[in-house]
Amino acid sequence: MKILVTGGAGFIGSALIRYLVSSTDNDVINLDKLTYAGNLDSLLPVADSARYQFEQADICDRESLDRIFATHKPDAVIHLAAESHVDRSIDGPGDFIQTNLVGTYSMLEAGRSYWSGLSESARAGFRFLHVSTDEVYGDLAGSDDLFREDTSYDPSSPYAATKAGSDHLVRAWGRTFKFPVLVTNCSNNYGPYQFPEKLIPHMILNALKGKPLPMYGDGTQIRDWLYVDDHARALYRVLTTGIPSQTYNIGGLNEKKNIDVVREICAIMDELVTDKPADVSRFEELITFVKDRPGHDERYAIDAEKINIELDWQPAEDFASGIRKTVRWYLENDLWWQRVVDGSYRLERLGAGA
């Protein structure tokens, strides 16, 4: 196949592209606007492949989308491009409405226009996979409850609300226009190449600098953690074997309190970091509790039984193995995150023309 991936320079998108190029025979077109979270450094392992191409474009720009579809003639789309940071959505919801809602609408219309002009056999094989989040469901009241594919939506943040809206758009295009869509809702991702504003890399890098490790509220919020490479495998499985118009929840089967995640990071760093910052004997000493953010959901947990039974997928990493790989990667790849911290990754764009 020739697969068009939107948001391919982001955290999950770059992991997916690295997987597609290194572990499959497919051609990949990476469509990314290169906002602050888009980092072409994350694609250096596959950038020289003859099966990889990059297009810098905004998913809200319909003219560019039509050109890209006409030029590359993809057999499938995996739509990941989105604004995804909850705190940023609280500070400035407008960008989230534009990218997550208007951008998804533009992708759907460009994709549908292209799909309508294909031969009957090509239309039958075409797929549009929309990648979403478990945050659209709100939070869980009971300790044994799980998000399932038929759980009602109840988003708490502007980010979650715009992702919920984009999910509804995708399903409506599938039902009204018979456009061959698929939807996935995933739990919290973590792993190599994640932007430092997210919880796990933020804690690792702060600890290395001897800076406070800020925990919202009492740190007892529970999340299900999914290693990003497992997510990439799941997305490809859904694309290739999933049934159009179906939704598949993708979870890591690793429920953890935020405070326990940070404590585990600290314990691994105590073991691996020999040159600790001054006045730090144990990294856990740096944990600092701060005022909780507005609308903070208490617990997310995904029931991944459907994708496990119907598509034969399950995560390869448990949290213990995945978090150790993640911490070690950040310790061994300081060049990558230093370029993010100092902003040089945005200045050069590695030949992207920005």
Q: CA-based Rg of the chain, rounded to a whole angstrom?
A: 20
Helices (H), the chain: 11-23, 62-72, 86-91, 94-96, 104-116, 120-125, 158-177, 199-208, 228-241, 258-272, 305-311, 319-332, 334-341, 344-348
User: Whole-angstrom Cα distance, residue 215 to residue 196?
Assistant: 15
H or E stretch at 216 = strand 213-216
For residue 256, give the DSSP letter: E
Specify whether 134 is catalytic.
yes
Half-sphere exposure of 23 (CA within 13 A, CB side): 12
Specify whether 159 is catalytic.
yes
The Cβ of residue 44 has, within 10 Å, a number of other Cβ atoms equal to: 13
Pairing between β-strand 188-190 and β-strand 222-227 as defined by DSSP bridges: parallel
For residue 99, give the DSSP letter: I
Phi and psi at residue 27, to the nearest 5°? -90, 145
Query: 270 is written with which tokens?
Result: 């105590």
| Nearest residue to 61 via CA among 20, 99, 21, 8 | 99
**CA dihedral of 58, 63, 66, 68, whole degrees rounded to 10:** -50
Q: Which one of the listed residues 52, 114, 159, 227 is annotated catalytic? A: 159
Specify whether 330 is catalytic.
no
Residues with Cβ within 8 Å of residue 212, at least 6 apart in sequence: 206, 286, 287, 288
Look-up of token digits 């585990």? 264
Q: Which one of the listed residues 41, 55, 83, 135 is annotated catalytic? A: 135
Active site residues: 134-135, 159
